[in-house]
Amino acid sequence: MDFLIRPAQEQDLEHILKIYNAEILNGTATWNSTKKSIQNLQNWFNDLQVQQFPLFVAEHRESKQIAGYADYSSFRQIQGFKQTVEHSVFIHPDFIGQGLGKMLMLKLMDHARQNKIHVMIAAIDHENQASIILHEKLGFKQTGYMPEVGQKFGQWRDLVLMQRILD
């Protein structure tokens, strides 16, 4: 394996920021349209830690480059949803197609099971077939399709909701 999946550390945030901001500017895996600052990511990182939610990075063993990251957090801020989480996975464009999404997802799912999470939810842009197929292979089922609920690059975007019961 060319990659080490490990908990993110504060010094990884600059690399995570580059990956996420590139997706904001060029992709549809996030519908955010304004670049994030390092302070935004620091606040997010701190919030994840306080709530004991994970943030994992995939580090290339040779170059030590952060090739991708994954996290999960509350699905909704209502007590009845406390055992349901929504996750996200982002891969640096140079490392797409090398199995990192699957490796990060398996790590997240393992962490979730250990922390008694019942359901993981994915919210995926309908054109992101690679992500939809990966989730299907990992046992996720499509449970919703929401036409034109968001915008990116001046176009209406459809959202695919998928979920997996973990226990």
Q: What does the pLDDT read at residue 151?
A: 97
Q: Which tens digits make up the pLDDT trace of 11-21?
A: 999 999 999 99
> What is the reported pLDDT for 36?
97
How far apart CA 9 and CA 156 sit, in angstroms, is: 36
Query: pLDDT tens across 108-133, in order?
Result: 999 999 999 999 999 999 999 999 99
CA distances from 147 to 23, 73, 153 (A): 21, 24, 16
pLDDT, position 1: 62
Instruction: Compute the distance between CA of residue 67 and CA of residue 58 in angstroms, rounded to an integer.
Output: 5
Residues of the chain with pLDDT under 70: 1
> Global pTM?
0.95
